[in-house]
Amino acid sequence: MNSFARKRRILKIFKLMMAFYQPRVYRPILFLSVVIALISCTNSSDNDNPPPGTAPSSLGALQEREVSENRTVDFEFDLGGEIAAFQLVARNENEQLRLVEIEDPEGNLVFDSTRALDNRLSGAGSLQNSPVTYNYPQLSSQPLLVPGTYRARFELEPAEFNSDSDEVIISSVSLDLLTKSDGDLLTGTVNVNAVLSASAAGSRNIRDAVEEAFRISQKMLSRFGVQLHIEFFNLPELPETLPDPMAGDLLFEELAAATEGGINIYIASSVPSLGGQREYVSAIEGASPGALIPSPRSAIVVDINRAAGEDGLFDHSDEEDDSDIDDSEVRLLAENVTHSLLSYLGLSDTVNFSGSTVASSDALDSEKCTSLDACQENKGANGNLMFPFPLEDEDSDQDKFFPRDRLSPQQIELLQRSVALD
């Protein structure tokens, strides 16, 4: 590691500790923890790690505005001719909100929550916890960005009343705008901070498995023109059980602010919100797309106990099996992490199940199947990285899973348009 990179790492670790400890504990413990973290923090993949990508340009928070009587709020923002893509991040303290529409300088709606296609490409049109994030453009078939003034309208959930006075509680929304001017839609770099928390930070078996999983992820994504720059951090002071990133938590916002760019992926012992997911899903993202600025949902969390299996060790593999179905727990971890990362960057699940039947699908050219049985026979569908979960091969007498390692042309197109890619 060169001198500049080491200084950058030291500064990041110090800020991470500051974010976690203040005002939680005394400063002497903070400095002791920094020393411990510096000793334990290594980057074994430096030789293969690409240089960090350029962070998107942030124009800062636009003016905070009060919500109107009809529970909507409008913002205007200007885009120059050099802007290739943008991300909007709308925030409210206590209420759910959604994006209603975005109008370009020529009066065209580039996003309309009443259009089925727009809702299939983005979840921003549905009420959700703050923040609401929207990326544009997503596909080449969508209108190009026109220089000038844009208008975005957001809507909050139905008003709450003060039970003492019967008055509507006044609410407001703030909006952040991030942009990128890089017109290269074939290659790009994503910055990732891998944070091993609590006991995961002290386990060599977990550390080795996580590093190998990220190497697999780097290799998979490089085929689509995406480079991952990864930095590893040990934070044993974090709790064993981390909050649900979809619900949001101030801890994630504080730590995201401390890392100064990049997507934070936390390796935790437990994530309760994964209890409702299928058995072999071990990662969950705060939002899709996720905010590229600090927010309560700026996180991807991995439940390492679910990933390691019942024995708690990453040792289940069949190296002598030369079939295209590998049962490696490390490989499944890599696929789960990559799936959540792609979701954070804006890709949707290819299909959504209701029981064993496909209830809906994305609006892209990815291969589809109509049921769990049909998905067993369709490797184009079950092999997509955005297939919602690892699919176990029912014809195998062992725990084997169809590999997820591909993306469709339109998925790659949408991925390359993300503001997170420089």
> What's the rounded Cα separation, in Å, for the pair 349 and 135?
17
pLDDT 10s digit of each residue in the chain, 422 long? 554 454 455 455 555 555 555 554 434 444 444 444 444 454 444 557 777 777 677 666 677 889 988 899 999 999 998 888 999 999 998 899 999 999 999 999 999 999 998 988 899 999 999 999 999 988 878 888 999 999 999 999 886 654 555 555 678 999 999 998 877 778 999 999 999 999 999 999 999 999 999 999 999 999 999 999 999 999 999 999 999 999 999 999 999 998 878 999 999 999 988 877 888 899 999 999 999 999 999 999 999 999 988 777 886 544 444 444 445 899 999 999 999 999 999 999 999 999 889 998 888 999 999 999 999 999 899 999 999 999 988 887 667 899 999 999 999 999 998 999 98
Question: CATH for 59-180, among 2.115.10.20, 3.40.50.300, 2.40.430.10, 2.60.120.380?
Answer: 2.60.120.380
> What's the rounded Cα separation, in Å, for the pair 349 and 387?
6
Tally Cβ neighbours within 10 Å of residue 186: 9
Query: Strand pairing partners for 397?
Result: none
59-180 shares its CATH topology with 188-416: no
Query: Strand pairing partners for 89?
Result: 133, 176
Query: Are the beta carbons of 152 and 77 closer than 8 angstroms?
Result: yes
What integer pLDDT is reported at residue 106 of this predicted model? Answer: 95
Does the domain at 188-416 match CATH 3.30.365.10? Answer given as no
What integer pLDDT is reported at residue 397 of this predicted model? Answer: 66
pTM here is: 0.86
List the chain domain ranges.
3-40, 59-180, 188-416
Q: Which helix (H) or strand (E) holds 353?
A: strand 351-354
What integer pLDDT is reported at residue 158 of this predicted model? Answer: 80
What integer pLDDT is reported at residue 75 of this predicted model? Answer: 95
User: Nearest-5° angle of CA 104, CA 108, CA 111?
Assistant: 80
Contacts of 221 (CB under 8 A, 6+ apart): 227, 228, 338
> What's the rounded Cα separation, in Å, for the pair 89 and 263?
15
What integer pLDDT is reported at residue 244 of this predicted model? Answer: 95
> What's the rounded Cα separation, in Å, for the pair 80 and 82?
5
Residue recorded with tokens 């942009």: 179
